[in-house]
Amino acid sequence: MEQLRLAVIAGDGIGPEVTTEARKAIRAAVDGVEVVETEYALGAAHYLESGEILEDATIDALRSHDAILLGAVGGDPSDPRLAGGIIERGLLLKLRFAFDHHVNLRPTKLHPKVQSPLREPGDIDFVVVREGTEGPYVGNGGAIRVGTPHEVANETSVNTAFGVERVVRFAFDLAEQRSKRVTLVHKTNVLVHAGGLWRRTVDAVAAEHPDVAVDYLHIDAATIFLVDRPSRFDVIVTDNLFGDIITDLAGAVGGGIGMAASGNLDPSGAHPSMFEPVHGSAPDIAGTGAADPTAAILSAALLLEHTGQAEAAERIRAAVDADVDARGDARRTTSEVGDAIAERIRASKEHA
Amino acid sequence: MEQLRLAVIAGDGIGPEVTTEARKAIRAAVDGVEVVETEYALGAAHYLESGEILEDATIDALRSHDAILLGAVGGDPSDPRLAGGIIERGLLLKLRFAFDHHVNLRPTKLHPKVQSPLREPGDIDFVVVREGTEGPYVGNGGAIRVGTPHEVANETSVNTAFGVERVVRFAFDLAEQRSKRVTLVHKTNVLVHAGGLWRRTVDAVAAEHPDVAVDYLHIDAATIFLVDRPSRFDVIVTDNLFGDIITDLAGAVGGGIGMAASGNLDPSGAHPSMFEPVHGSAPDIAGTGAADPTAAILSAALLLEHTGQAEAAERIRAAVDADVDARGDARRTTSEVGDAIAERIRASKEHA
Ligand SMILES: CC(C)[C@H](C(=O)O)[C@@H](O)C(=O)O
Ligand SMILES: CC(C)[C@H](C(=O)O)[C@@H](O)C(=O)O
């Protein structure tokens, strides 16, 4: 039987709880595939216990898997031992860079039964293709005279033709399978060098896709459209930092961050891709059963889609849709939601 | 009689139309002050005609005024002669830098009669204190091998203790006069050097203001709160780029960019401060009378407040409130709105 070798990084806070439900969904959804799951104890708690954030040997071990399922990492934000994003950078960003996750894929789709904070949300159904290995995330910053009145702290955003072109191509290919509209989001009127590279790249790739409509929005204007008329978007392509910002906003207007899934992809397949909910570890609600596992479960669907299990992915999505449709006012725990979705997945397989 | 020497840069698109109404409001509102207005023909249209974006001699002339009222600058975004933000950077940003406008003040207040795109907006009343002379706006970028597959384009954000401290102090002083809450917005888990400087500076200034409650949000999380619970904010302090992004979003949730005013302040008074609506030149609706002059008129109120005419500023704000209260469904032209507000200002002076 074919194997799907999964690495699971459950992480911190609500990470383990939502990952448990995502794993149930995967096991329920696959057909004729043996799912081999290997747990990796990583995250803030693991670091505080063991001193390890992410060893090279662990990266090598992760490399041997078909995909990585990640819950959430990050501890108490006020803990000085975790200051400066040491876990986020040393674990999450390190994996994205080590595994060349240059496409950070973040779909937003407002389910008709889910209430958006917007008065008139309209038909929200778009995907953000966020670059994942460049921009201000490269860690090329530094400071002098730290802690003195003469401190200077710089951060450099690095952007390459190689890095921009591949993600722009991905966005156009995706648009070809959707409503054939690509919006570039940047700040070309201020960040002229990076902006020029992005614009010229989009223009060049657009010329190869005459059937795809292309437009451009400054990042500030894009946030306005995301609340005033989010239905205008189909595929948004943007840099690492702008993508970080608008996908949280998109998650919020698209029915809440409890529904927002993401994939960190190396579409070349050279490295395992990594799938995670957009939300964080939410230490304040950890252990209470209040976490919504839907974003993690939808991330599992992305995982299956990108490891060649399109039908299994579709089963998960249909089950989530049905679960949302059937939602009443009663609060359900994390595992109640996960069990209900897994049950629907199994039922759909039997009736197929 | 005391003089108020105003420089007026009406600019492009709807700039001249909304500025005309803001000037009416100023003239109606002042008392015992002679308003001397000098028009400066600057902007995209002026550049295309004359080749001038902003000469040193013009900067020197502007320097002699008490304040600058700006409409909007920027032409047809698809005009290749205006590509790369040449007007925005050569005029708007150049003035902000030349006149050390380090406090970019952007209040958001949702009027009860104005419909927010949010379903449950709550009580939206906060001010963003955006740094105006540092960050990724400094123009310290560059590129090599431009136009080749090996292009590398960098943008450097520059942040100094001097620059951060003064704007953080301004934010805390402002919070002391308001609800005594300051939220720092940054991305300290990724931009660790700049983020560290901002955090340490906020911590240090906070220690001098024990009565002010301080919290921190990553920029991505801040966009979620701006749609999910904007009432949580009082004073937000943030860097130039993050401030650009969240003030457009704030304008949108706070009743639309047609209401959003801003001041580019040099609080030391060494240089004239500059006041402008947050919206752009909107060339698509220029000349149609469809532009809402309210943001420009509220910017005029900020101008008067910052040039020692607090009562006149209050008259304008009260008149705008009353105008919004009285709004029906009928569309009014730009000048009808401006005339109605000016009339209310005059009436309030007579009845005082
Ligand atoms: C945790 C943080 C470093 C991360 C990011 O900024 O990319 C997160 O916000 C995300 O969007 O996945
Ligand atoms: C026009 C542009 C350069 C400017 C900025 O980014 O500051 C504008 O968006 C603003 O917010 O005033």
The answer to whether residues A165 and A72 belong to one domain is no
Catalytic, B66? Answer: no
Q: Which residue has the tokens 């070349």?
A: A268
Q: Which atom of ligand 1 is nearest the CA belonging to A104?
A: 12
A-chain residues near B147 (CB < 8 A): 200
What does the block give as tokens for B334? 């730009």
Is B54 part of any domain?
A: yes
Q: Which of A209, A225, A254 is the last residue of a domain?
A: A254
Q: Is residue A308 part of a domain?
A: yes
* pLDDT of A90 over the 90 cut: yes
Which member of B234, B244, B266, B323 is catalytic? B244
| Same-domain check for residues B123 and B246 | yes
Interatomic CA distance for residues A132 and A265, integer angstroms: 9
Catalytic residue, chosen from B137, B234, B266, B323, is B137
Is A289 annotated as ligand-binding? Answer: yes
Assess whether A32 and A134 both reside in one domain.
no
Let me know whether B160 and B275 are in one domain.
Answer: no
Look at residue A110 and tell me if it is in a domain.
no
Which residue range forms the structural domain that includes residue B127? 116-254
User: Three-state SS for B274?
Assistant: strand
Is residue A99 located within the same domain as residue A128? no
* Edge-first strand listing for the sheet containing B235-238: B33-39, B2-11, B67-72, B273-277, B261-265, B103-109, B125-131, B235-238, B181-186, B213-218
Catalytic, B244? Answer: yes
Please say whether the dihedral angle defined by the alpha carbons of residues B244, B246, B249 and B250, taken in this order, is positive or negative. Answer: negative
Same domain for B121 and B240, yes or no, is yes
One domain, residues B53 and B127: no
A21 occurs within a structural domain: yes
Give the C-alpha separation, B320 to A106, whole Å.
41
Q: Which of A12, A47, A100, A187 is catalytic?
A: A187
Within this chain, do residues A346 and A224 fall inside the same structural domain, yes or no? no
Alpha carbon A348 to its chain centroid, in Å, reads 27
How many structural domains compose chain A? 2
Q: What is the pLDDT of residues A52-75, one digit of tens each?
A: 999 999 999 999 999 999 999 998
Q: How far apart are CA B82 and CA B49, in angstroms?
A: 13
- CB contacts < 8 A (A, B): 215
Q: Which of A254, A278, A293 is the last residue of a domain?
A: A254
| CA–CA distances in Å: residue A317 to residues A296, A337, A342 | 12, 14, 11
For residue B139, CA distances in Å to A89, A245, B146, B154, B229 come to: 27, 22, 17, 10, 34
Specify burial of residue B50 (Cβ count, 10 A radius: 0-12, 13-18, 19+).
Answer: exposed
Look up the CATH number of the domain holding residue A193: 3.40.718.10
Whether residue A88 and residue B190 make contact (CB cut-off 8 A), yes or no, is yes
Tell me if chain B has a CB within 8 Å of the CB of A79: no
Scanning B117-156 for CB atoms below 8 A from A yields 117-120, 136-137, 141-143, 145-156
Work out the minimum CA distance from B111 to partner chain A, whole angstroms: 17
Confirm whether B220 is a catalytic residue.
yes
Q: Find the distance separating the first CA and the last CA of chain B, reported in whole Å.
A: 21
B199 within domain boundaries: yes
Distance, in Å, from the CA atom of B324 to the CA atom of A105, rounded to the nearest integer, reads: 42
Q: What is the pTM of this model?
A: 0.97
**Boundary of a domain, candidates B207, B238, B254:** B254
> Per the domain annotation, does B150 fall within a domain?
yes
DSSP 8-class letter at A28:
H
Question: Is there a single domain that holds both residue B204 and residue B286?
Answer: no
In three-state secondary structure terms, A164 is helix
Let me know whether A133 and A229 are in one domain: yes
CB of A58 within 8 A of CB of A42?
yes
With respect to residue A109, please indicate whether it lies within any of the assigned structural domains: no
Shortest CA distance to B157 belongs to which of B224, B71, B226, B219? B219
Residues 6+ apart with CB under 8 A from A214: A181, A182, A183, A184, A202, A206
Q: Tell me whether residue B24 is one of the annotated catalytic residues.
A: no
Q: What is the rounded distance in angstroms from the CA atom of residue B331 to the CA atom of residue B289?
A: 10
Between CA B165 and CA A43 the distance in angstroms is 34
Cα separation, B270 vs B207, in Å, equals 28
Buried b (16+ CB within 10 A) or exposed e, A273-294: bbbbbbbbbbbeebeeeebbbb
What is the identity of the amino acid at B114? V
pLDDT (tens, 9 = 90+) of chain B, 352 residues, equals 899 999 999 999 999 999 999 999 999 999 999 999 999 999 999 999 999 999 999 999 999 999 999 999 998 878 999 988 999 999 999 999 999 999 999 999 999 999 999 999 999 999 999 999 999 999 999 999 999 999 999 999 999 999 999 999 999 999 999 999 999 999 999 999 999 999 999 999 999 999 999 999 999 999 999 999 999 999 999 999 999 999 999 999 999 988 999 999 999 999 999 999 999 999 999 999 999 999 999 999 999 999 999 999 999 999 999 999 999 888 999 999 999 999 999 999 888 7
Task: Verify that B84 and B143 share a domain, yes or no.
Answer: no
Confirm whether B49 is domain-assigned.
yes
Q: How far apart are CA B256 and CA A185, in angstroms?
A: 21
Which residues, in sequence order, are CB contacts of B163 under 8 Å at separation 6+? B102, B131, B133, B134
Q: Report whether A26 contacts A317 (CB < 8 A).
A: no
| Interaxial angle between packed helices B310-325 and B294-306, expressed in degrees from 0 to 180 and rounded to the nearest 10 | 160
Same domain, A221 and A280: no
